[in-house]
Structure 1
């Protein structure tokens, strides 16, 4: 796993781009949900995060973390991702999602992977190895 500081580059994200990421044969979310997902992506434009690249998904960044002051934006973003019938656990259940988020009980059903083109790389995060006296997340 490699870690990166990233900045969302999603000012022009649209529903058609999101729709194109679905494989044939999988049911698409309704157009309204796709539009809300796109708006949630646009709302994150310029926001910095930590993302990981895993060997099994080299063309994507896996969302690893964000700053506390961006929590409300990510809450909204993740709620709309949760509306995807394939992976979502909170379909049309905003009240339960909000309660789980607030209590710290929210747990995504799967890792959140995003296309590398949705980000600008700020820097690769260098981690110390255990031999150098640092902690390793690997």
Structure 2
């Protein structure tokens, strides 16, 4: 795995782009529009992401700055509305409570298309100690 400092470049992300990523039945048009809006709101936001050999076309999200927490909260809540894969459909209050208390845990890794990012720099992993 390689770590990178990345910047979202999603100013023009559309619902149709998101829909094309679904192999099975995609979410409703309304939900796809909310997801696209959340992506557009992330445009310019910097994150740390990992590139894995098993997923050559995406980065897995590892972290973001605390100042961007609300943006990610909205994106992740929209993802959690997916009736097939989401854990919080129509459960905003429960999601907000879990998020604020630190109890929220995604049921899957968050992977995003590499095309949604600009690579700022590769992170030197030798600077980290794994525990």
Q: TM-score scaled by structure 1?
A: 0.91
Unaligned runs of 5+ in 2: none
**Runs of 4+ that moved beyond 3 A:** none
3-state SS of 2:108 partner: coil
Q: Are the counterparts in 2 of residues 127 and 136 from structure 1 also a CA contact under 8 Å? A: no
Matched ranges for 1:7-86 at <5 A: 7-23=7-23, 26-86=24-84
- How many residue pairs are counted as aligned between the two chains? 131
Measured after TM superposition, the shift of residue 136 of structure 1 is 4.3
Measured after TM superposition, the shift of residue 19 of structure 1 is 0.4
The residue that corresponds to 2:97 in the other structure is 99
Larger Rg belongs to: 1
Q: In 2, distance between residues paired with 1:113 and 1:97? A: 20
Q: TM-score scaled by structure 2?
A: 0.96
Moved more, 120-129 or 74-83: 120-129
Measured after TM superposition, the shift of residue 85 of structure 1 is 2.0
3-state SS of 2:98 partner: helix
After superposition, the CA RMSD in angstroms is 1.3
Q: Deviations over 1:45-91 (max 9, x none)?
A: 00000000112111100011000111111101110011112321001
